[in-house]
């Protein structure tokens, strides 16, 4: 029997420290005009010194649980999509669970499964598929899916073509199998990847290179990207994956009430919208205020769209994303 999966709460967190294009002009040789015309980004937010990706993730998680009217004690699984974890170990999921007060004093929290996973900017899509699988096996589970990123901590300010693109943020959803309190059903998810393209976007700091105390950090410690190849792949993969998920659910593009794509670049979003034949009014865009916050863009965009009143419970929503790996995928919410 197919067990349904409902999003029953939604939350996000954006650090208060805003960095405008004007601020970027003081750090690298760039201009507001170049950044806006090539990307649509006007501002991004960076974690404050001492503020960690787990703080952002915990804040988004608390907001999602409050929205779902659930106590942290109810949570059975904490999944964190991130390509900028706080440590190689422990997992950011464990750190966030600790900040949420799990395990709880009742001891029930000791049964919580905490897991980080990395599908880069496609993390939220992959996470919804993970949540669906967990609920299929354990219908009583309460899954907290958090997408949290601290990209500012791996930005290379000597590389002007990448450092202007990214920002920090977190988004979270609470997922259950029971329809009461459900905002949307996660009707279908597709996840794809092509590891032969793994060189196109990289973030260093892992074990690929041995380091000794006192070593000077090289460019391989930071984000590096082949921008134009990524751009082409992004347009093709998000368009095809969106068509694929609609087709396999017997839907046409006119059935989509709101399209929320990964917020990486306005030109990519517009190209995908046009290829799909979507009216621009159905395409949600909020990247001007945040830049590309990797896995966090989709739940953050969902929160903003809901606040603006364009995303309402039960609407047919198409989400799509792409990212390093390369990874990509789509989600159909109803």
Ligand X SMILES: CC(C)(COP(=O)(O)OP(=O)(O)OC[C@H]1O[C@@H](n2cnc3c(N)ncnc32)[C@H](O)[C@@H]1OP(=O)(O)O)[C@@H](O)C(=O)NCCC(=O)NCCS
* Residue positions annotated with a catalytic role: 121, 262, 292
CB of 252 to ligand X, least distance (A): 28
Q: Which parts of 212-241 interact with ligand X (CB under 6 A)?
A: 225, 227-228, 230-231, 234
- 30 is a contact residue toward ligand X (CB under 6 A): yes
**DSSP helix/strand/coil, 97:** helix
Quote the tokens at residue 221.
């410690």
d(CA 310, CA 329): 23
Tokens 């005009």 — which residue?
Answer: 33
Counts of helices then strands in the chain (DSSP H, E) = 9, 13
Residue 103 burial (CB count, 10 A): 14
8-16, 160-168, 209-217, 274-282 -> range binding ligand X (CB under 6 A): 160-168
Residues binding ligand X: number (CB under 6 A): 21
- 38 is a contact residue toward ligand X (CB under 6 A): yes
Q: Which parts of 162-191 interact with ligand X (CB under 6 A)?
A: 164
- Note the residue count of the chain: 334
Q: Which parts of 291-310 interact with ligand X (CB under 6 A)?
A: 292
Tokens 């990395």 — which residue?
Answer: 118
Quote the tokens at residue 76.
């059975």
Quote the tokens at residue 284.
């949600």
Distant-in-sequence, close-in-space partners of 147: CB < 8 Å, separation ≥ 6: 60, 80, 81, 82, 123, 124, 127, 170, 171, 172, 294, 295, 296, 298, 299
Nearest CB to ligand X, comparing residues 7 and 264: 264
d(CA 29, CA 24): 8
Nearest CB to ligand X, comparing residues 119 and 175: 119
35-43, 56-64, 108-116, 304-312 -> range binding ligand X (CB under 6 A): 35-43
User: Cis bond leading into 90, ω under 30°?
Assistant: yes
- 26 is a contact residue toward ligand X (CB under 6 A): no
Indicate which single residue of 17, 62, 108, 160 sits in contact with ligand X (rule: CB under 6 A).
160
Q: Give the x-and-dash track for 122-151 against ligand X (CB under 6 A).
A: ------------------------------
Instruction: Catalog residues that contact ligand X under the rule CB under 6 A.
Output: 30, 34-35, 38-39, 121, 160-161, 164, 201, 225, 227-228, 230-231, 234, 264-265, 268, 292, 323
């Amino acid at each position: 029997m197919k067990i349904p999966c409902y999003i029953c709460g939604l939350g996000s967190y954006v650090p208060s420290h805003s960095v405008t294009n004007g601020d970027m002009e003081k750090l690298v040789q760039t201009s507001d005009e170049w950044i806006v015309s090539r990307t649509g980004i006007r501002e991004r937010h960076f974690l404050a010194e001492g503020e960690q990706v787990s703080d952002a993730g915990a804040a988004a998680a608390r907001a999602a649980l409050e929205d779902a009217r659930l106590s942290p004690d109810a949570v059975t699984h904490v999944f964190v999509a991130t390509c900028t974890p706080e440590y190689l170990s422990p997992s950011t999921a464990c750190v966030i669970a600790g900040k949420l007060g799990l395990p709880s004093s009742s001891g029930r929290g000791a049964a919580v499964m905490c897991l980080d996973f990395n599908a880069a900017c496609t993390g939220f899509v992959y996470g919804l598929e993970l949540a669906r699988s967990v609920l299929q096996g354990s219908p009583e589970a309460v899954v907290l899916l958090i997408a949290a990123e601290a990209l500012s901590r791996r930005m290379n300010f000597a590389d002007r073509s990448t450092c202007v693109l990214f920002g920090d943020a977190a988004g979270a959803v609470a997922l259950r199998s029971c329809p009461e309190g459900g905002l949307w059903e996660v009707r279908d998810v597709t996840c794809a990847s092509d590891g032969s393209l793994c060189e196109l976007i990289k973030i260093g700091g892992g074990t690929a290179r041995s380091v000794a105390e006192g070593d000077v950090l090289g460019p391989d410690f930071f984000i590096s990207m082949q921008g134009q190849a990524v751009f082409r792949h992004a347009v093709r993969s998000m368009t095809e994956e969106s068509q694929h998920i609609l087709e396999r659910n017997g839907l046409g593009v006119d059935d989509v009430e709101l399209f929320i794509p990964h917020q990486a670049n306005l030109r990519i979003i517009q190209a995908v919208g046009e290829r799909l034949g979507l009216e621009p009014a159905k395409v949600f865009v909020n990247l001007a205020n945040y830049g590309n916050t990797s896995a966090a863009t989709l739940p953050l965009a969902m929160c903003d769209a809901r606040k603006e009143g364009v995303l309402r419970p039960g609407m047919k929503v198409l989400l799509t994303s792409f990212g390093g790996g390369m990874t990509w995928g789509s989600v159909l919410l109803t």
